[in-house]
Amino acid sequence: MACHSEDFDCSRCTEAARRERGCYERASRPVVSIGGEKYYRCPVRLIRPWAKWVLGLFRHYRDGHLPYSGGVMDQPAKLMQAFLVVASVIEEETSDKVRNPHSAQGKR
């Protein structure tokens, strides 16, 4: 999953894409697979506003920009912990795709 907060906006999808991705009702096939769990609904519906905020900041953090002034030790501990969780999930999902390139899409 990309870490661009603008990616979590269903209004940017076409009507056909919204239907296919389960924005309105359960899709006929998995829309996304996270940690081996398959989801048949639009994943945007599952993302809480604070998580969108963390993912948006993570993108800048990953590019070397800290959210608050100062160094790493000046950042809120909870935010740094959230970044560690995001990084570990990305690492997990990325290494899983390297091992099994079909794992994220579901087998067709």
Q: Which is nearer to Zn ion, 42 or 55 (CB)?
A: 42
Site for Zn ion in 28-57 (CB under 5 A): 42, 44
Sign of the Cα torsion 52, 53, 54, 57 reads positive
Using Cβ positions, the residue closest to Zn ion within the complex turns out to be: 42
**DSSP for 40-86?**
-S-GGGG--HHHHHHHHHHHHHHTT--SSSS-GGGS-HHHHHHHHHH
Instruction: Decide if residue 23 touches Zn ion (CB under 5 A).
Output: yes
Candidate list 4, 9, 10, 85; residue touching Zn ion; CB under 5 A:
10
- Between 31 and 54, name the residue whose CB sits nearer to Zn ion: 31
Which residues, other chains included, contact 82 with Cβ-Cβ below 8 Å and sequence gap of 6+?
54, 58
**Residue 17 sits in the site that holds Zn ion (CB under 5 A):** no
Residues lying near Zn ion in the complex (CB under 5 A): 10, 23, 42, 44
